[in-house]
A and B are shown apart, each in its own frame.
Chain A
């Protein structure tokens, strides 16, 4: 495949996901509602509990990261979910495309959605709670967002793999299992408060490191050495693993006939 057809295949998925997103009336709801509810309620709770501005920012960073990851990973999972829902999965796998086209294309759209949410929540945090998310500067913000997006990609691809493996009945299972992983990443608390075995799990999640690095800019003691490098290395490893799992699931679906079953 030439680079041109590679780009085209990814672009095809970008256009598809963007069109589907623009047609979905719940899109804006999905995009805005829960993240805003999250930030507002966490912010108010912090005020009620009398948290210091540092403590409040600690929790708010976690909430914003969770929202960004969620919105982006949902879009990545749409790589197969849209077709599973409309029972048109087979057309995609009849076409000469690789799974990386699917996951890259939907990831690109997911990043745009993630950026929108991030900007909105940053503005909301500033306006309502005087919390300056962008204070650490563009490089730190970009690194933090990159971490969120990488995590979202991995999670989304893993959901694709699970759905291709178990069929659409596995949807709920897929969502809850990946969300469990996110909760372990220390969204609302430092990883150090977790009991030993769980902390080890948290240390295996890339998002943990990006949160750690970003929170360091707000004056919190860094829990890990070289968090960004570790986070990137782990992300690369998991991205490969998730893609391998997705690829294997597609191969299996071609053997078991699940691919057909999900298309009729």
Chain B
């Protein structure tokens, strides 16, 4: 059973009354997401991630194609569907002079809660997101992280079966991001919520998502588990070196080295397998009399995955 089953969804934005501008945001997206999964949508700015989430959450209507969400058609059954899903964005905005508790309560009422049930829900969510001390603080006076927590709290008022999170950790400090991620994982584990999220952080996608899809230019270029994708795209890993003398011409030709670039005094060598190549390279450098001042090994950045995928 799929939580999301979309076929050939297209969306072109037309704006301007006199001079029409057209942007093809989605150019035929087909996607299935199993129930109970955490699914990641990755892609560069303007790829169409937010547009896709907006269509699947019935906020926008697709131009063509079909999409069934929780077994319901996004066009025909929109209002029935709206009761069962919710969305939060990393750039949240709410009525600025309402207080935290009032915001959660407002949306609780809109989703049909009242009286004791409403009060209980608001208490529960305010506690869950550690917003108790801020309950009576106006939204406009909250920090970015607190605002995001309010958005997350709001997105759970109707106990959604499906939750869309658009860049949930945008602009959060690392400590808070980690906690938000743990929380997202817990939502799925404890409440069985299917979660579709977008992110620009590869780390986040790897840590959280059962599967990811890469979207670019309104098309899905690849999908799979993070590990599958890396194998599929064979990006390798990056060994970054700080050397004295700073340039070593033969490094790019060394066995297992796919390419080398210099950046900010670091030489970044993309290799097939860091664990195997690092000792080899270090031995060769030592033999050559090159002093190694610093070494870092890391996985390829998201951008690199895209550069590769776009080829």
Contacts and interface: CB of A to CB of B under 8 A. Distances in A.
A94 interface: yes
B93 A86 contact: yes
Interface string B151-173: 00010000000000000000000
A254 B110 contact: no
B109 A259 contact: no
Contacts of B105: 15
A263 B93 contact: yes
A85 B209 CA distance: 35
A204 interface: no
B296 interface: no
B86 A94 contact: yes
A91 B97 contact: no
A163 to B, nearest CB: 15
- On chain A, which size bracket covers the interface? 35 or more
A20 B112 contact: no
Interface string A32-49: 000000000000000000
A8 B95 contact: no
A174 to B, nearest CB: 15
Nearest to A255: B61
Interface stretch (B51-59, B234-242, B257-265): B51-59
A78 B95 CA distance: 12
A257 B106 contact: no
Contact of B109 (A9, A90, A260, A263): A9
Q: What range describes how many residues of B lie at the interface?
A: 35 or more
Given A255-B61, A260-B50, A263-B93, A8 B98 contact: no
A94 B56 CA distance: 11
Given A86-B95, A88-B94, A11 B60 contact: no
B119 interface: no
Contacts of B294: none
A92 B50 contact: no
Contacts of B191: none
Contact of A96 (B60, B82, B98, B113): B82
A43 to B, nearest CB: 35
A256 B17 CA distance: 11
A19 to B, nearest CB: 6
B114 interface: yes
B58 A94 contact: yes
Contacts of B112: 5, 8-9, 96
Nearest to B86: A94
B87 interface: yes
Contacts of A23: 97-98, 138
Contacts of B93: 86-88, 263-264
Given A95-B107, A96-B79, A96-B111, A260 B54 contact: yes
Contact of B110 (A92, A258, A263): A92
Contact of A24 (B14, B94, B97, B106): B97
A226 interface: no
A9 B106 CA distance: 9
Interface in B201-256: none
B120 interface: no
A12 B13 contact: no
B143 interface: no
Interface in B39-56: 50-51, 54
A95 B82 contact: yes
Given A8-B112, A15-B109, A94 B79 contact: no
A256 B20 CA distance: 12
> Which of B57, B86, B106, B112 is the most central at the interface, judged by chain A CB atoms within 10 Å of its CB?
B112
A15 B15 contact: no
A162 B94 CA distance: 22
B91 interface: yes
Contacts of B109: 8-9, 11-12, 15
B102 interface: yes
Contacts of B94: 86, 88, 91
B95 A259 contact: no
Interface string B51-73: 10010011111010000000000
Nearest to B17: A166
Contacts of B154: 91
Nearest to A264: B91
Nearest to B85: A94
B107 to A, nearest CB: 6
| Top-3 shortest CB links A-B | A12-B109, A96-B82, A23-B97
Given A12-B110, A20-B98, A23-B138, 15 more contacts: A9-B112, A16-B95, A19-B97, A20-B97, A24-B97, A82-B95, A83-B95, A86-B96, A92-B110, A94-B58, A96-B83, A96-B111, A257-B60, A258-B15, A264-B93
Interface of B: 13-15, 17, 25, 50-51, 54, 57-61, 63, 79-80, 82-83, 86-87, 91, 93-98, 102, 105-107, 109-114, 138, 154
